[in-house]
Amino acid sequence: RKRSTMFDKAEYVHLLGLIRTRLRRFEEAQHLDDFIVLRHDVEFSVEHARRMAQWEFDNHVRSAYFFQVSSDAYNCLSVVNQNQIREILGMGHEIGLHCYIKPYTEWSSLHKEMLWQKEILASVVGQDIRLMSFHRPPVQLLQEAADEMAGMLSTYGKSFFEFSTQPSKARSVKYCADSRRQWDYGYPVEFLNAFRKMQLLIHPDYWSDVSMNTHEQGMDLCQAHQTKFVDVLRRETRQFAEFQPF
């Protein structure tokens, strides 16, 4: 069932305290019968991911952060973002590819696309990328997903994800996600005793130091991006004689 939550630091730290002892890395969990794997798909802000990574580090938790390399919202290759991603890695978290795919046609073209994106992200972090998650995967891809794809462990592989047309009725692996700032498959805490295998997807973009509603959170993201862009304009146009409107 759905549950309305605060999406703030206090709630997240409380959740971490409840799941910490069962948390495992994906590579380790693949061979276990009892685990919780925690992943973060970064959709809009590397800065928000860096903040959540710090919350986890301060609470002795390590998780996995998945970044897009072809996003219109952020650029993994910018100097600032590269540094922040490396900081996340330096805290002991894992870095994975959040793979944006074109309409799924055939495996050969998808495989080539995944390898290309993997190489780009590897150049950012300075090491091989071993994990991947799909961005809005089509049903066909979820049905066919294997544990390993293009040399990476897939978060939608059968060891970590149970495909069903009714995810709320999962029997082996319980999947909980805060997509759209709603817990459509149930709030994680409600299933800790019922399932031995769980995957939690938490989007850093949706969480803040203090609670905000969805509109406020969206405006906060917009303001942060606008501020950065204006700073770039000022820096790059300061030598222009007649172009300093900011």
Residues 6+ apart with CB under 8 A from 67: 42, 46, 49, 76, 85, 95, 96, 97, 98, 121, 124
pLDDT tier for residue 162 given thresholds of 50, 70 and 90: confident
Q: How confident is the model at residue 145, as a pLDDT?
A: 75
The identity of residue 25, as a single letter, is R
Higher local confidence (pLDDT), 113 or 59? 59
| pLDDT tens sequence across 19-64 | 999 999 999 999 999 999 999 999 999 999 999 999 999 999 999 9
Arithmetic mean of pLDDT over the chain: 90
Strand partners for 41: 66
The values of phi and psi at residue 165, to 5°, are -70, -10
State the pLDDT confidence band at 168, using cuts at 50, 70 and 90: low
Question: Is the model's pTM score more than 0.85?
Answer: yes
Of 71-75, 160-164, 178-182, the poorest mean pLDDT is in: 160-164
What's the pLDDT band for 75 if we cut at 50, 70, 90?
Answer: very high
